[in-house]
Structure 1
Amino acid sequence: MHEVSLGATLRDYLTGQDVDHTTYEDLRQALARLLVEELGHPRELVEPRVRVRFDVVPDAADASPSLAPSSTEAPQAFEGTDRPDTPPVSLALPVSPDSGDPGDSEDSDDHDEGCRVVDLTLRDDDGTPLCIVLFCPGAPGSYARESVAAARLFPGGPAPLVAVTDTRDALLMAAVDGAVLGEGMRALPKRDALRRLAADHPCPQLTPERAAGERRILGAYTAFLKRCCGEDVCLL
């Protein structure tokens, strides 16, 4: 099942604003609540719906030398291309048994061809991105490569960490090399652990050449998502 609007709005947990109620928005809202109430991330430092553009000319920051490894081998999490159409039905909390993208009715530009929307961004006290969190309607491993590209291209970043989750399973990865740091919902780190992990896995600015390559990767995956079932209906 692809993401479609339900023709209504709901109140965003983080901002208090009305957002489009889609077939997956309840799950995104539950994920935001988990990050704040269970994992201890300050609500004001969890930002929803940040655009990562892949059709822009690289800025001056892209000219900084890249220290990231240039290995051509993708980590295991990048394997696989199947993306099930069956949506998840529950949110598995990592610490309690009870526990870019669309969905912002105020920002119709979320669906333009030149960007991918990151669902949630966990920021440090000074506003720098520590980790981006992307909801995926399918196996997290099949969304790993594009999510790492989004982290490397993240505005004001790169973001050193990236988490991909369907709210039943999750991958936590380092943006610098795509290495999998944890699997399962318990891999989503609490506040203090997140800051330590980000410090342990810094991601330098990309060279212009590598930034261009990451934009092509992110653009290709995003184009696939948007064209899979008709852009007039699908909100992916």
Structure 2
Amino acid sequence: MATIVLGCILGSVVAGSILRALVPQHHLSEESRSALKLGTGMVATLSALVLGLLVSSAKSNFDALNAGLRETGARIITLDRLLAHYGAEAGEARRLLKDVVEATIERVWPEEASGTQPRQMGASIGALSKLMDQIDRLPVEGVQERAFQSQTLAMSTQLTLSFWQLAERTQTALPFRVLVILVFWLCILFAEVGLFAPRNLTVAVVVALSALSTSAAIYLILEMNLPLTGAVKVSSGPLRAAAAQLGK
């Protein structure tokens, strides 16, 4: 997508340069330039505001998921410790919890998987439902044991919610119409550059670098807005650290 944006921006520069040779010279007078700069100044302000808001939103989304993964890791360890209270009777439940964590790591970070086929996120959530059934079947004696079981079930429910949120964030995407409008504004700005800028190597290099920088900003927005896919991804460290603590 960022490559398409770069092509549109550079194409608008070329279109502006071609238009310069076609329009009458009095249309390119200082008075005309002043009027055009007034309009494009407003477009530039709007573009900068929208671009800044999108970067801020994408960064917030990225940071929120990063924090959510750390919280999920803490919940995983806490649930494992709660299950350890039951002793050997909860051994199967603890093994299932570890399988869920490892399956999630393989699904979200397949490049870090140890040669295994990545499984779907839905399979991990389904396994958590089985884990809750196993916890519900654990033997309890007395009111205190029942309260402890309720606490364990509550923690497993919170963990299931965390995994659902993780699955939902893989479906989040930047609204396409917002991106189209932003690119349209940028094309207007760069078309004006092609219309009025002199034709020399220095201008060409600066315009090319400016177009590349703008496209790179949009690339970062798109990547950080989907923090579980692409080149810019959240770290698997919190879940891996939690998996290393399971069963101990």
Q: TM-score range by the shorter chain?
A: under 0.3
Larger Rg: 2
Q: Which has the higher contact order (CA 8 A, sep 6+)?
A: 2
Instruction: Give the TM-score normalised by structure 2.
Output: 0.22
Higher helix share: 2
